[in-house]
């Protein structure tokens, strides 16, 4: 009871703080725990981009952006706590960077009229905007990723992979299970043999899975891993001398930090990518000038140019663009979360838009509509060059097999719609 009263007093003071005219972007980050390796650079990139906009342009459309960081540790309970404590501050869009937390927030945020942008994660069928009015997963989702990996393997094998053995090493959670159904459909279509190897949270223990891979000798391995699981998997693959060029990770399994521990043995490891790699973009000069040199960089400021950092930059850029669209649509600068949702639904990212933001060719061009919250699902492939210590794009943004993915999206979202009695969002 004493503690209850204490916290009550604390939150009373919190609630009393005044509401300022700013654009609030909550960042449900995780800088601690087994997934921090990916969480830190993403959160840094997300925060740094908004810092840059504030410092260089005075905010978005003249209104300052405020990033509200809340530590979740990739834990859903803390995610709920973070959501509840930040939503009252006028949060515009949530990017939880966790599939578990996204699942949690989908109904809550929809009821509260706050959009969620689960960029390349979360519930894949949320791409159907007719059912999931407040959830967006552009530019690509897990099923695009699975299809892109298979497309790449097809390309390697001259278009015929019938009879090949492909193993999926996945994080045993909602995240890792997402691609299974797509891969099963694709295996029917292309005639390859799929084997599934689950790795339990947090993923440090993978000996038995890789022993099985050594025994079964699959031609290719696809990995849906995150955090410490990636590093262990790459190391294990190197230990059993699995040919790295046949090992392909989703975009969450392809950061510098995932491959460097294995050293030269990781050379040739492939990963899908949502954005371009490296820091060779005009935006980075501004970042250096306005954010890093002035000491305003988030975190330790040592993550610039890494893959997850670029993804954080990209997520922030898409959010800022959606704000601009919303400001234009509704004719107000200090937009609400509902207006932000409209802006995200009308978002069109072209090469010109990216170039204007100092990021030419950074991501695919795509457009969002009421029915399609997932964009066109274009995915690139990168490969690790251990001697140079960097990922190199080996295949540019290419379309994925929507003839397989779209029916799955329709089926899963229709089931959700029926289960929860949701009215159509469009028309």
Partner 1 sequence: MLYREAGDFSTTYSEDSQTFPIKFDRWRYYAVLFVAIFVIPFMINDYWVNSIFMPFLIYAIAAIGLNILVGYCGQVSLGTGGFMAVGAYACYKLMTAFPEVSMFIHVLLAGGITAAVGVLFGLPSLRIKGFYLAVATLAAQFFLVWLFNRVSWFYNYSASGQINAPERDTFGILITGPNTEAWATYMFCLIFTIFSAVVARNLTRGSVGRQWMAIRDMDIAAEIIGVNPLKAKLTAFAVSSFFVGISGALFFAVYLGAVEVGEAFGITKSFLVLFMIIIGGLGSIFGSFAGAAFLVLLPVLLKVIGVDWLGWPTDIVAHLNLVIVGGLIVVFLIAEPHGLAQLWRVAKEKLRLWPFPH
Query: What 3-state class would DSSP assign to 349?
Result: strand
When the beta carbons of 4 and 241 are compared against partner 1, the nearer one is 4
Task: State the minimum distance, in angstroms, from the CB of residue 292 to partner 1.
Answer: 17
Query: What 3-state class would DSSP assign to 280?
Result: coil
Determine the Cα angle at 15 with ends 12 and 17, to 5°.
115
Query: What 3-state class would DSSP assign to 379?
Result: strand
- The rounded Cα 336 to chain-centroid distance in angstroms is 24
When the beta carbons of 175 and 384 are compared against partner 1, the nearer one is 175
When the beta carbons of 7 and 208 are compared against partner 1, the nearer one is 7
Going by the DSSP 8-state scheme, the letter that residue 62 receives in this structure is: T
Q: Where are the alpha helices (DSSP H) in 129-227?
A: 142-156, 174-177, 180-190, 207-216
Roughly what angle, to the nearest 10 degrees, separates helices 99-112 and 76-87? 30
Instruction: Identify the H or E element spanning 326.
Output: helix 307-330
When the beta carbons of 200 and 333 are compared against partner 1, the nearer one is 200
Task: State the minimum distance, in angstroms, from the CB of residue 181 to partner 1.
Answer: 5
Task: State the minimum distance, in angstroms, from the CB of residue 133 to partner 1.
Answer: 12
Task: State the minimum distance, in angstroms, from the CB of residue 337 to partner 1.
Answer: 15
When the beta carbons of 280 and 419 are compared against partner 1, the nearer one is 419
The token pair that represents 101 in the structure block: 């937390």
Task: State the minimum distance, in angstroms, from the CB of residue 362 to partner 1.
Answer: 27
What are the residues binding partner 1 (CB under 8 A)? 1, 3-4, 6-7, 10-11, 14, 29, 31-32, 36, 40, 69-71, 73, 75-77, 80-81, 84-85, 87-88, 99-100, 103-104, 106-108, 110-112, 123, 172-175, 177-178, 180-181, 198, 200-201, 299, 412, 419-421
Q: Is 381 buried (19+), middle (13-18) or exposed (0-12) by CB count in 10 A?
A: buried
When the beta carbons of 21 and 415 are compared against partner 1, the nearer one is 415
Which of 280, 292, 299, 317 lies closest to 392, judged by CA?
280
When the beta carbons of 88 and 163 are compared against partner 1, the nearer one is 88
Task: State the minimum distance, in angstroms, from the CB of residue 203 to partner 1.
Answer: 11
Task: State the minimum distance, in angstroms, from the CB of residue 200 to partner 1.
Answer: 6
When the beta carbons of 300 and 388 are compared against partner 1, the nearer one is 300
Measure the CA–CA gap between 130 and 270, rounded to whole angstroms: 35
Task: State the minimum distance, in angstroms, from the CB of residue 283 to partner 1.
Answer: 24
The token pair that represents 321 in the structure block: 């663009």
Task: State the minimum distance, in angstroms, from the CB of residue 6 to partner 1.
Answer: 6
When the beta carbons of 346 and 402 are compared against partner 1, the nearer one is 402
Q: Is 159 buried (19+), middle (13-18) or exposed (0-12) by CB count in 10 A?
A: exposed
Task: State the minimum distance, in angstroms, from the CB of residue 202 to partner 1.
Answer: 10
Rg (alpha carbons) of the chain, rounded to whole number: 21
When the beta carbons of 103 and 366 are compared against partner 1, the nearer one is 103
When the beta carbons of 9 and 392 are compared against partner 1, the nearer one is 9
Task: State the minimum distance, in angstroms, from the CB of residue 322 to partner 1.
Answer: 23
Roughly what angle, to the nearest 10 degrees, separates helices 402-420 and 142-156? 160
**DSSP-derived secondary structure for 108-143:** HHHHHT--EE-TT-S-GGGGBTTT-TTEE--S--HH
The token pair that represents 41 in the structure block: 């650079």
Roughly what angle, to the nearest 10 degrees, separates helices 402-420 and 180-190? 140
Which residues lie below 8 Å from residue 151, measured CB to CB, with a gap of 6+? 398, 400, 401
């Amino acid at each position: 009871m004493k503690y209850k009263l204490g916290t009550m007093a604390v939150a009373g003071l919190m609630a009393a703080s005044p509401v300022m005219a700013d654009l609030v972007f909550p960042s449900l980050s995780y800088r601690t725990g087994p997934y921090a390796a990916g969480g830190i650079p993403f959160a840094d990139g997300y925060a740094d981009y908004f810092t840059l906009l504030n410092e260089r342009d005075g905010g978005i459309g003249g209104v300052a952006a405020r990033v509200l960081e809340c530590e979740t540790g990739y834990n859903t309970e803390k995610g709920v706590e973070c959501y509840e404590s930040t939503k009252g501050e006028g949060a515009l869009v949530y990017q939880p960077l966790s599939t578990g937390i996204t699942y949690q927030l989908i109904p809550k945020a929809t009821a509260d009229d706050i959009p969620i942008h689960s960029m390349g994660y979360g519930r894949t069928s949320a791409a159907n905007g007719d059912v999931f009015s407040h959830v967006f997963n552009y530019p690509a989702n897990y099923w695009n990723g699975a299809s892109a990996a298979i497309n790449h393997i097809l390309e390697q094998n001259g278009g015929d992979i019938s009879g090949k053995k492909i193993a999926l090493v996945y994080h045993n959670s909602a995240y890792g299970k997402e691609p299974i159904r797509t891969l099963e459909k694709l295996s029917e279509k292309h005639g390859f043999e799929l084997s599934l190897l689950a790795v339990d949270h947090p993923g440090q223990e993978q000996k038995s899975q890789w022993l099985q891979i050594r025994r079964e000798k699959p031609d290719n391995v696809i990995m849906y891993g995150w955090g410490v699981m990636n590093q262990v998997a790459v190391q294990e693959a190197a230990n059993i001398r699995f040919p790295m060029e046949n090992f392909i990770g989703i975009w969450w399994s392809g950061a510098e930090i995932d491959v460097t521990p294995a050293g030269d043995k990781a050379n040739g490891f492939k990963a899908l990518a949502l954005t371009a790699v490296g820091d060779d973009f005009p935006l980075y000069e501004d970042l250096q000038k306005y954010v890093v040199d002035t000491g305003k960089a988030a975190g330790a400021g040592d993550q610039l140019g890494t893959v997850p950092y670029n993804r954080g930059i990209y997520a922030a850029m898409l959010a800022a663009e959606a704000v601009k669209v919303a400001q234009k649509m509704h004719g107000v600068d200090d937009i609400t979360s509902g207006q932000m949702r409209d802006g995200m639904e009308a978002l069109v990212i072209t090469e010109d838009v990216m170039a204007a933001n100092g990021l030419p060719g950074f991501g695919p061009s795509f457009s969002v509509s009421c029915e399609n919250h997932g964009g066109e699902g274009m995915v690139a492939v990168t490969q690790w060059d251990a001697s140079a210590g960097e990922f190199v794009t080996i295949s540019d943004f290419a379309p994925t097999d929507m003839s397989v993915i779209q029916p799955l999206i329709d089926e899963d979202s229709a089931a959700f719609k029926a289960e929860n009695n949701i009215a159509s969002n469009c028309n």
